Every structure is written in C-alpha cells, then in structure tokens.
Amino acid sequence: MDKGNETRVRLETTLGNITVKLYNETPRHRDNFIKLAKEGVYDSTLFHRVIKNFMIQAGDPDSKTAADTATLGNGDVGYTVPAEFVPTLFHKRGVLAAARQGDDVNPEKASSGCQFYIVTGRKFSEAQLINMENQLNEAHLDTVFQQLARKHMKEIYKLRRAGDNDGLLELQDKLEAEARAIVKDEPAMKFSKAQIQAYTTVGGAPHLDNNYTVFGEVTEGMDVVELIEKAKTNRADRPTTNIRILKATVEE
C-alpha cells in the first residue's frame, strides 16, 4: 500500500464519531486493527482509562460487560503484536498508539493485541524537551544497569549476607562501568526537528516515543476526543459515566 491508500476506521462513540487513518509504515498493527474492527471486537468496549493532558485508552474486551466498580485494563485477545517503531511516527497530539505491558514483563515492548490509546498530551518548550532528552538517556542507562545487576543477584545476596559493603560497592562500580560502555555504543535519544516542531506547537506525549508503537492518527473527531478527555474519572482513571465505542467500521 502507498500513503494514498491509508485505511480509515470510524469509531462511533456515545459522545460522537472519531475517524482514524492507519499508517502503512506499521503493517502488523494496521492489519490487526482492521481485523479486530471487522470482527466486532471493539464494539461496545469502553474508554476505560482517561487522563487529561495525556491520552484516552480503550479496547479492553472485558469492558463490554464490566460492572461500574470493575478495574479495567487487563483484558486481551490472547496474543501480542511485535513492536513497530518508526522514527518519523511519534506521539504528537491526535496519534493512535498501542498500549502494552511494562518493560519488567515485556522487555521487547510488544503491543497489546487489542488495547489502544489516542494522545492528547500538552505543549512543551524546547528547554523542556532538552531536559527530557537528558532524563530519558539517564533512565535508559539505569535500565541497562538494573539488567546487569539482575544477572549478578546471587553474588549480590552473598555479599549482603556477609556484610561485605566494600565488595558491594566494588561490584556496583564495575556494573556501572559496564552499563556506560554498553550505552556509549548506542545512539543517544535525541528529538528530531519534526518532533520539536510538533511538541512545541500542537503538543503530545514525547516521553512515550520509542517505547510504544504509534500506528495511526485521528483525521476527524478530535473534538470528540477532547470531550472524552474532559470526563470526570475515579481514582483508577476510569470515567465515572461510561463512554462506549458503539461500533468500529472499516471504511473501504
């Protein structure tokens, strides 16, 4: 497919219609979303997680018949979709992206087979984005360090039991050096000119880039997304009044 033939899916909700186009650069996510829409998987599901100035999330099959007090977000369709990170597709306002489980149980960052979110986000200054770059690079360094530490847990436990603080500090210094050597050979996280332009003008959620797959964007109905975003929610970020996807229709 070329960009001129991008598939569109209309989400009819209790607050109005949202139309999204699916990117051909992320074919696995595109085809999976089309499949689920045609099978009616999204029909009657709720927007179960809504956070102002961040995103609205839906697609949990368990939400179709959930009680008002139920905690949602764990439902799935029995499979995940491999991550499809594309540098030119990022978390600007209005994009469609796939939810997923955390890195601790999902280091490959595979997407949920069904749950998705639409970004609302907020605007950032260039200085804030530079600061975020530094924070994300430090966070990546820490992640690599923690991965190395997990491989030495037996040794760490042994040193702790022996009360060998000098040994623990020596091992820590060694692992920190190893982590920095690994990260040094990897490209540092840096926002592109297109990302900076988008995040300083229309806004978005830049901290999610390269961690969650972006696979489409809203073409009509951002006003409906904004209505959903403003919904009153409980402590679990679930709207106190159900907001439902009545039907998902693939426009062909």
Integer distance in angstroms from the first to the last C-alpha of the chain?
13
Q: Which two tokens stand for residue 40?
A: 């009616």
Q: Look at residue 39 and tell me if it is in a domain.
A: yes
From CA 106, how far away is CA 238, in angstroms rounded? 24
Give pLDDT tens digits for 44-63: 999 999 999 999 999 999 99
Q: What is the residue range of 165's domain?
A: 126-184
Distance between CA atoms of residues 49 and 159, nearest Å: 44
DSSP string, 181-250: HHHHTSPPP---HHHHHHHHHT-B-GGGTTTS-EEEEEEE-HHHHHHHHTS-B-TTS-BSS--BEEEEEE
Task: Give the percent of the chain with pLDDT over 90.
Answer: 92
Mean pLDDT of the 209-232 span: 97
Q: Same domain, yes or no, for 104 and 136? A: no
Are 116 and 144 in the same domain?
no
Q: Angle CA(136)–CA(138)–CA(144) in degrees, nearest 5?
A: 105
Residue 191 in any domain: the answer is: no
132 belongs to a structural domain: yes
* 132 and 111 fall within a common domain: no
CA neighbours closer than 13 Å in the CB half-sphere of residue 37 = 23
Strand ordering across the sheet containing 47-51: 47-51, 55-58, 116-119, 95-98, 214-220, 16-22, 8-13, 245-251
Amino acid, single-letter form, for residue 186: E
Predicted model pTM: 0.88
**Tens-place pLDDT, residues 159-181:** 999 999 999 999 999 999 999 99
| Average pLDDT score over residue span 147-152 | 94
